[in-house]
Amino acid sequence: MKKLKGKEDVVADVKERVSKASFALVTDYRGMTVAELTELRKRLKQNNAECKIAKNTLMKIAVRDTNLKELESLLVGPSALLLSYGEPTACAKTLVEYNKEIEKGSVKGGVFEGKLLTQEEVQVFATLPSKEVLIAQIAGLLTSSTASIVGIFEGLIRDIALLSEEVAKKNDKGS
């Protein structure tokens, strides 16, 4: 009975964490040492994310009735579940960069906004700028566009003023 209670606790814990996550990745952690996994967890924590390792059967049960249920298909073989509670791209970047750094581990896929992401899509996702950077870029584009429009209107007003001056001068000479 005690063994079953432990499994129920793991399922409940994973389910609670998954329900709070906005983004999730599944990675194959084969070949990673405990120290390397600890370092990955530390880096993820700095980016408001975490790494959870449990038996695939327990993780499948935990994700089944959540917003990340598509993860079930990725939970095959040695799997670590990475959950992001903040900026989704930060979690993906952290994993992809760390895997390159230690030359171990591989991304199996992920789920973002209910859509299953392939390994390649996660790699692309990791290259995207953060939401704040994207908003700043859009704001910069809008500001520069607005400045251009203002410049065009100022030029038009100046041209109309010069044209009226010329017409007034011509009318004064003609009278």
pLDDT of residue 1 exceeding 60, the answer is no
Domain that holds residue 94: 2-128
Domain count, the chain: 2
Q: Give the model's pLDDT for residue 67.
A: 83
Assess whether 134 and 104 both reside in one domain. no
Assess whether 110 and 138 both reside in one domain. no
Out of 92, 112, 128, a domain closes at 128
Assess whether 62 and 74 both reside in one domain. yes
For 2-22, write each residue's pLDDT tens digit: 566 688 888 889 899 988 998
Q: What is the C-alpha separation between 168 and 160, in angstroms, rounded? A: 12
Measured between its terminal Cα atoms, the distance across the chain in Å is 111
Assess whether 11 and 55 both reside in one domain. yes
Assess whether 145 and 166 both reside in one domain. yes
Q: Give the model's pLDDT for residue 111.
A: 92
Q: Do the beta carbons of residue 66 and residue 20 sit within 8 Å?
A: no
Q: What is the Cα gyration radius of the chain?
A: 28
Q: Do the beta carbons of residue 107 and residue 126 sit within 8 Å?
A: no
Assess whether 80 and 152 both reside in one domain. no
For 41-99, write each residue's pLDDT tens digit: 999 999 999 999 999 999 999 998 888 888 999 999 999 999 999 888 889 999 999 99
